[in-house]
Structure 1
Amino acid sequence: MSHYRVLFAKQILGVPFTIGAVEITRARDSERALRAATLRFARQHGVEDWRERADRADVTETEPAAA
């Protein structure tokens, strides 16, 4: 299982402004991490669909945090 960070951004005049980030600690692949992050982001912001708050979501694989 891999660790992922998904950054959500709103584009204004072509410039992306980061609105929030979601850490996914265990996912099989980036697609599953994106799906989990979009659901969590929508829940955190109290909206039905994450696209109500952000225009784009970028997934990056990260290293697990040292314990």
Structure 2
Amino acid sequence: MPNYRVEFAKEILGVPFTIGSVAIMRARDPERARRAAEIRFARQHGLGDWRELADLATVAERL
């Protein structure tokens, strides 16, 4: 199974600023990796939902 890194960013005046990232070691597909990272990011920051702190979540496959 591939590894993924999901970056969370806040968009200000149309420019994304990365505020954090989460590494997902195993996921079947990018969508599952994104969902797992959203939950982990929210828990790490003590939030109910990741969108309270970020606007964007982008997934990149790691080798």
Give the TM-score taking structure 2 as reference length.
0.98
Per-residue CA distance 1:15-41 (angstroms, 9 max, x = gap): 100000000000000010000000000
1:16-55 alignment runs, 5 A limit: 16-55=16-55
SS at match of 1:21: strand
d(CA) in 1 for partners of 2:41, 2:3: 17
After TM superposition, what 4+ stretches of structure 1 lie above 4 angstroms from structure 2? Answer: none
Q: TM-score, normalised by structure 1?
A: 0.92
Count of residues paired in the alignment:
63
Which structure: larger Rg? Answer: 1
5+ residue gaps, structure 1, are none
1:11 matched to 2:15: no
- 1:49-64 map, 5 Å: 49-63=49-63
Other structure's SS at 1:27 match: coil
Q: Percent identity?
A: 70
